[in-house]
Amino acid sequence: MIVKKSVLSPGTPFATPYYVVNSLQPGPVFMVVSGIHGNERASIRAAKSLAGRFTRKELLLRKGKLIIVPLVNQKAYRKCIRGVPDLNRTFPGSAKSRASHPLAAALFELARRYHPSWYLDLHEANGLSQKNRKRVGQTLIISPGSKAAPVARQIVKRMNESISVPAYSFNIHLRERSGTSRMAMQRILGARAVTVETCWSLSFPLRVRYQTEIVVHFLRAAGLTH
């Protein structure tokens, strides 16, 4: 296994590190991104920590490749804001359109180069989905008819079996929203794409734990890890 750290958008104000974990065995390409919104700290921490664990070989890939971009929007992160404009509305809506932000364009180009069959976009949100179905805190968001649905449902079930506070249970949300990275990766690249949302009202360590566990479950389900 080889882990290579590189820089996305080098030499620009958007420069940010990414990691390619190569098992050196054929298999699926799996991409994980976080920090498209700069103020969603637990997801960023989880993605950074996973990249570190693969770099130190505490975690190993059995097959395929894993690409991790732990903190997409460095500028928004430094200001501790979601980001202006909202980067997750600037991704291409179809193969014929283009990203309307240079950072979204760079991230999409990276994905196009590796062509992931799995794509996880880590986020955080207000409100518990278990208490109010309109809220997306503690959800996995997929499009109606998504190929990722069976695995996403299985992982929600697995997560909920280990969650002792019922209000913190995860739910599946079905949603289409053009301009999001999830929709771009799914529509244009055909990836099984899932948005992961923890809820801000939970403690930081618990949110990091849930984010990490969900990514680990997906990696295993996709066959990249044991």
**61 vs 142, beta carbon nearer Zn ion:** 142
Pairing outcome for strands 29-34 and 65-69: parallel
Q: Which of these ranges, 95-103, 121-129, 147-155, 170-178, lies near Zn ion under the rule CB under 5 A?
A: 121-129
Q: Which of 33, 31, 179 is closest to 98 using CA atoms?
A: 179
Total number of residues that touch Zn ion (CB under 5 A): 3
Q: Which of 109, 103, 86, 81 is closest to 14 using CA atoms?
A: 103
**21 vs 208, beta carbon nearer Zn ion:** 208
Residue 207 touching Zn ion (CB under 5 A):
no
Query: String of b and e for 98-133 (b: at least 16 CB within 10 Å)?
Result: ebebebbbbbbebbeeeebbbbbbbbbbebbbbeee
Least distance (Å) between residue 11 CB and Zn ion: 27
Residue 135 touching Zn ion (CB under 5 A):
no
Concatenating the DSSP letter of every residue in 168-191 gives G--EEEE---TTSHHHHHHHHH--
Residue 182 touching Zn ion (CB under 5 A):
no
**73 vs 130, beta carbon nearer Zn ion:** 73
**72 vs 221, beta carbon nearer Zn ion:** 72
Q: How far apart are CA 82 and CA 23, in angstroms?
A: 34
Say if CB 98 and CB 105 are below 8 A apart.
Answer: yes
**89 vs 158, beta carbon nearer Zn ion:** 89
The 12-51 site mask, x for binding Zn ion (CB under 5 A), equals -------------------------x--x-----------
Which residues of this chain interact with Zn ion, rule CB under 5 A? 37, 40, 123
